[in-house]
Amino acid sequence: MLGLFCSFLHRFIWDSPEVRADLNYAVSLLGGDGIAVDCGCGAGSDIAFLRKNDFTVYGFDIEEESILRCRKRFKNDKKVLLSLNSFSSFVFPYASLILADASLFFCPQSEFKVVWSRIGESLASNGVFCGSFLGPNDTMAGPKYDRQAFWPNVMVFTEDQLRKIFTNFDVVKWTEHKISGESAKGVPHHWHIFSVVAKKL
């Protein structure tokens, strides 16, 4: 169910289900090539884009179905390395790009400090983080969010809290999305998402 939800979120917030503008921009900062990590890789649309730009890609997901799908999709590509992992169990390689689109929401808050430290440590100097975070006005942050249907716990950041975790980064793109619509189950939903592209100092 989490994979379905993330796929829906990806389609709803960004125009293209394959590659959103932030990832294009992040890749342009690096010029292609290098090592990339796709956190919560889902069906592998971002992996495919990164491979077209000559990145070696490490992809992980907490859902076995997603990893099986990606293994089938990239079965002949030795530069796609996939694993069934959570944020806390994944061993981050030294990387020039870390992508965490619609996935860090679901990292347990008790684990986030360690996970964020590992992300920072694994990024090369001038490496790029590209990801999204849940804002406090999102339906998922409120009491009407159906935690039984989707995910029991989600992590929420205010703008001030989020900017503080990027103190060791140069934030080159910051977008706040506020959009109302319907969830994957047709339930009214207000999205409040911060999208961030930042270079490690």
Is residue 171 domain-resident?
Answer: no
Domain that residue 10 falls in: 1-14+22-72+86-101+118-132
User: Which pLDDT does position 152 carry in this prediction?
Assistant: 65
Is residue 58 domain-resident?
Answer: yes
Is residue 137 domain-resident?
Answer: no
The CA distance from 67 to 77, in Å, is 14
User: Which pLDDT does position 8 carry in this prediction?
Assistant: 46
Is residue 147 domain-resident?
Answer: no
The residue with tokens 């961030």 is 196
Residue 123 burial (CB count, 10 A)? 24
The CA distance from 73 to 133, in Å, is 28
User: Which pLDDT does position 150 carry in this prediction?
Assistant: 61
Is residue 195 domain-resident?
Answer: no
User: Which pLDDT does position 147 carry in this prediction?
Assistant: 62
The strand pairing partners of 162, in sequence order, are none
CATH number of the domain where residue 51 is located: 3.40.50.150
Is residue 148 domain-resident?
Answer: no
The CA distance from 187 to 196, in Å, is 27
The DSSP output letter for 139 is G
Which residue ranges of the chain lie beneath pLDDT 50?
1-5, 7-8, 11-12, 14-19
Q: Measured between alpha carbons, how far is residue 7 from residues 14, 96, 108 in Å?
A: 11, 25, 20
Task: Determine which helix (DSSP H) or strand (DSSP E) holds 96, and give its type and residue range.
Answer: strand 95-100
Is residue 176 domain-resident?
Answer: no
User: Which pLDDT does position 18 carry in this prediction?
Assistant: 40
Instruction: Say how many domains are in the chain.
Output: 1
User: Which pLDDT does position 148 carry in this prediction?
Assistant: 61
Q: Measured between alpha carbons, how far is residue 178 from residues 6, 36, 82, 185 in Å?
A: 17, 29, 33, 20
Is residue 90 domain-resident?
Answer: yes
